[in-house]
């Protein structure tokens, strides 16, 4: 006996923080012309870890998130939020 459901899977409208972060990291790396191997070496992590970050399969630790932001020379919140107005700390002194 087969039981079927009329329910369709819900479309995924939002991307996760890991996916958003990964997309930003990949765009930045490519814009800078840096290969995965160079970024992984500079951050002292494996190539597979950087690849997993970029694909949104894994999210960096707080320590690594801070190191990545320093490496990219941007605030950590820029890695996590959509736009400059979404970052809760960015507008405090503006």
Alpha-carbon span 86 to 77, nearest angstrom: 9
Question: Is residue 47 in some structural domain?
Answer: yes
Range of the domain at 37: 17-80
- Give the pLDDT score at 64: 96
CA–CA dist 42, 53 (Å, integer): 15
CATH number at residue 58: 1.10.260.40
31-51 residue pLDDT tens: 999 999 999 999 999 999 999
In a domain, 40, yes or no: yes
**Average pLDDT of the residues in 22-39:** 94
Number of domains in the chain: 1
């Amino acid at each position: 006996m087969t039981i079927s459901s009329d329910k369709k899977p819900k479309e995924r409208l939002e991307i996760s923080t890991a996916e958003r972060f990964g997309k930003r990291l990949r765009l930045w790396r490519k814009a800078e012309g840096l290969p995965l191997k160079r970024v992984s070496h500079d951050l002292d992590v494996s190539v597979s870890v950087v690849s997993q970050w970029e694909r949104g399969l894994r999210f960096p630790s707080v320590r690594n998130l801070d190191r990545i932001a320093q490496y990219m020379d941007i605030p950590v919140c820029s890695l996590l939020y959509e736009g400059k107005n979404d970052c809760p700390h960015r507008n405090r002194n503006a």
